[in-house]
Structure 1
Amino acid sequence: MFSFAAFGNDLHSGKRSFDFVAKRKIWYAIAVAMVVGSILSLALIRLNPGIEFRGGSEFQLSSVADTSTITGSDAVSSVVDGAEARVTVVGDSGVRVQTEKLTPAETEEVRAALAEAYDVPEGDITSSFVGASWGSDVTKKAVQGLLIFVVLVGVIIAGYFRTWKMSVAALIALFHDLIITAGLYALTGFEVTPASVIGFLTILGYSLYDTVVVFDKVRENTERVTASTRRTFEEAANLAVNQTLVRSVNTSVVALLPVASILFIGAFVLGAGTLKDISLALFIGIAAGTYSSIFIATPLLVDLRRREPEIVAHTRKLLKKRAEGTAPAAGSVPDFGTPDDADEDEDRPAVGAGVGGGSAVVNATPAPSRRGPATRKESSGQRAQPKRGKRR
């Protein structure tokens, strides 16, 4: 019977391993295809900004018997010629109608037309107006926050891991998640609202959290990799991904379950538009962040560091030893402890071994007896017989 716990232990010890880093070209191709598709969606289909960003008038109707969207569009066009109305069904008996900016007189006429079309009292229809300047201010602040966030995160990661290459790999994976999320937003036609912006900013932290967890294990495994006689830098980094794989999957599943509940139940069943906007961004971002932390970030780090002189020299030396049969093959020795401890055990001389690495010699000289010097018979291995007195 399959045991998930045993599977995780095998991945952590190195007994079982997936070649995430070795097959990085495949993951790169998949990531590039998704990013290109997202960019095409943004360029051709484009995002659907909500009324908060484009400005306009909004009418809310509740307890409507007929929730046909065509009825609302016809009611608006009968008052304002050529006006484009976006009619959305909210829940089981609610309708939301969004139009371009209307004058106060046009607003009252549209309210009366909607009341007549949907057969509801005119007093049950609420209207509001949102200026486009508010949405532009939100967009400007969001872009400023994103830039400040990226700069601070890059500096902090570089300082924590003591290398700028980890910052570059983490930020590339982060932008990968953002572009894919925005592209799917454009492809599905969901409105971009302030709640969507909150969702975008939220997935930044989640994506980086998962990547930093993997990078921390990579640093632990590769801290003294140039002195290792068991693994190259690429193999040690791949082991780190395998060791954190179960944790990444479990964290993602636990995070996706409540988000999926909000998205499919709270939004599509109950019709809560705000929940739909933020939950879609979170759902796509968490899924993309899990993919990038496993398949993108660590392989990118390996590509950035594998040309360093020390790593190149160590890799050549270890591969040469494997070819000569003086070093174990990759993956042949499970890692039941930390890589550094295992390497130290291999290099530590055995008890009694000579300086030249000869075989151990056990000192067989017995300790001196407390009874004094041994007799000649005892030294020859025979048991000494006690002297007998003369018989009288």
Structure 2
Amino acid sequence: MSRLGDLKNIGVRLHHGDVSFDFVGRKKLWYSISGLILVLAVGGLLGRGLHEGIEFKGGSVYTIEHTSASQNDARKAVANFTNGTDAIVQKLGGDGLRIQLAESDANKTKVIAAEIAKDLKVAPDKVNTQVVGPSWGKEISNKALQGLGWFMLLVVIYLTFAFEWRMAVAALVALIHDIVITIGVYALVGFEVTPGTVIGLLTILGYSLYDTVVVFDTVKENTKSITKQTKLTYSEAANAGLNQTLVRSINTTIVALLPVASLLFVGGGLLGAGMLKDIALSLFVGLAAGAFSSIFIATPILADLKERSPEMRQLAKKVAQRRAAEAKAAKAAEASGIPVEQTDPDAAGETDADAESDSDEDETVPAQGGAPRAGAARGRARTRPGGKRKR
């Protein structure tokens, strides 16, 4: 029962630092995993390539809503009109077929439609024909690339002004990471790239960016005035911020993936809705990749960039000196027989700023009701046996 209670309160424990996962410290592992995924995605893209839909490369589509013919029957019916290319045949629902050819000549499409109706034994008016020219498809491709470019530019500008340029660079790298993985998966599974794919791709970029911005906002709060202390480096403070938003990121991703999975496996798989399948696959892969990049890629990259700055290098040096002094004091105390619990590790490695801060804490103004000062109480406690005050 206690374990179940700990699991339910994991978000609170992560927020308060009772539990922490070292994401930033293990960045090399995450970079390696991400690199492997990217290699597979790029390999699929270069090897198999993308199966562009009719909207992008032009061609003709023949749809038969009710037929008992199989996909192989449809391929045989159009075998003489493929011109050396493969006909794309998809199942629509329970008894529908969709045949896509590279042929875009309007005169030939009438002949092909008649041949399909004859071979599949359906009425000629039951074969719906759609023809798209290659020039229109090229225009759609250019507009999609322009939209993606403007989106990236606006993201960089916004994050630079709202946060800083290092966060903008880290978020941009994470977005490119998500795009490459999503496109690579499309190449590997052989799904068509349609306008629905572009819509889904732009949508998941918004999700990924939202998740990254939430993490960065918490990191910004945790690292405010970080150079005024010597207990944490920037990477450690950033990792703490990432842990504080970890459960929120996971919950948001799961809630978003559930309906998308329904679209992909039910709408696209069982019902055979082509447009739903195109949108759902890009959403599903992109959401998963976006959650991965916002947790394992964006923040480690940000920490890498920040740790290169002179002030953060100086901070890391001070933190290392403080911890070395603490370890030395603990070792000396252990050698002299003093229990480690009775040593004051803060005093062993405190800087002038830390000493001033501790002094301010001891000299706090008494609370209402005449409560003794914290520093004075500790001083009297040390002068009496057992640490008890005289009543």
TM-score between the two structures when normalised by the length of structure 2: 0.83
Residue 360 of structure 2: aligned partner: 348
Instruction: Write the distance in 2 (CA, Å) between the matches of 1:127 and 1:344.
Output: 81
In the TM superposition, residue 79 of structure 1 has moved relative to its aligned partner by: 6.1
Letter in 1 for 2:317: R
In the TM superposition, residue 307 of structure 1 has moved relative to its aligned partner by: 2.2
Residue 63 of structure 1: aligned partner: 66
In the TM superposition, residue 69 of structure 1 has moved relative to its aligned partner by: 1.5
Residue 249 of structure 1: aligned partner: 250
Q: Secondary structure at the match of 2:153?
A: helix
Residue 77 of structure 2: aligned partner: 75
Aligned match for 1:142, one of 136, 141, 144: 144
Q: Is the 2:77–2:120 Cα contact (8 Å) retained in structure 1?
A: no
Instruction: Write the distance in 2 (CA, Å) between the matches of 1:211 and 1:80.
Output: 46
Computed over aligned residues only, the root mean square deviation of the Cα atoms, in angstroms, reads 2.7
Letter in 1 for 2:285: I
Aligned match for 2:128, one of 112, 120, 126: 126
Residue 387 of structure 2: aligned partner: none
Instruction: Write the distance in 2 (CA, Å) between the matches of 1:13 and 1:260.
Output: 33
In the TM superposition, residue 126 of structure 1 has moved relative to its aligned partner by: 0.9
Q: Which moved more, 1:287-296 or 1:29-38?
A: 29-38
Residue 272 of structure 1: aligned partner: 273
Residue 282 of structure 1: aligned partner: 283
Q: Percent identity?
A: 46
Change (3 A) 1:13 1:72: same
Letter in 1 for 2:277: K
Instruction: Write the distance in 1 (CA, Å) between the matches of 2:291 and 2:285.
Output: 10
Q: Is the 1:199–1:282 Cα contact (8 Å) retained in structure 2?
A: yes
Q: Secondary structure at the match of 2:376?
A: coil
Q: Is the 2:58–2:104 Cα contact (8 Å) retained in structure 1?
A: no
Instruction: Write the distance in 2 (CA, Å) between the matches of 1:210 and 1:221.
Output: 17
Change (3 A) 1:82 1:189: closer
Change (3 A) 1:349 1:108: closer
Unaligned runs of 5+ in 1: 330-341, 365-392
Change (3 A) 1:198 1:102: closer
Alignment of 1:201-216 (within 5 A): 201-216=202-217
Instruction: Write the distance in 2 (CA, Å) between the matches of 1:313 and 1:63.
Output: 73
Alignment of 1:144-183 (within 5 A): 144-161=146-163, 163-183=164-184
Unaligned runs of 5+ in 2: 331-353, 366-373, 381-391
Alignment of 1:188-337 (within 5 A): 188-325=189-326
2:48 is aligned with 1:45: yes
Q: Is the 1:112–1:122 Cα contact (8 Å) retained in structure 2?
A: yes
In the TM superposition, residue 363 of structure 1 has moved relative to its aligned partner by: 12
TM-score between the two structures when normalised by the length of structure 1: 0.83
Letter in 2 for 1:360: A
Change (3 A) 1:257 1:80: closer
2:376 is aligned with 1:360: yes
In the TM superposition, residue 57 of structure 1 has moved relative to its aligned partner by: 1.4
Q: Is the 1:230–1:343 Cα contact (8 Å) retained in structure 2?
A: no
Instruction: Write the distance in 2 (CA, Å) between the matches of 1:165 and 1:142.
Output: 27
Higher relative contact order (CA 8 A, sep 6+): 1
In the TM superposition, residue 133 of structure 1 has moved relative to its aligned partner by: 1.3
Residue 29 of structure 1: aligned partner: 32
In the TM superposition, residue 351 of structure 1 has moved relative to its aligned partner by: 3.7
Change (3 A) 1:299 1:103: closer
Instruction: Write the distance in 1 (CA, Å) between the matches of 2:221 and 2:103.
Output: 59
Q: Which moved more, 1:206-215 or 1:68-77?
A: 68-77
Change (3 A) 1:232 1:260: same
Q: Deviations over 1:20-39 (max 9, x none)?
A: 00000000111111112111
Q: Deviations over 1:104-148 (max 9, x none)?
A: 443233222222222221111111211111111111111111111
Change (3 A) 1:157 1:81: closer
Instruction: Write the distance in 1 (CA, Å) between the matches of 2:106 and 2:364.
Output: 98
Q: Which moved more, 1:270-279 or 1:35-44?
A: 35-44
Q: Is the 2:174–2:298 Cα contact (8 Å) retained in structure 1?
A: yes
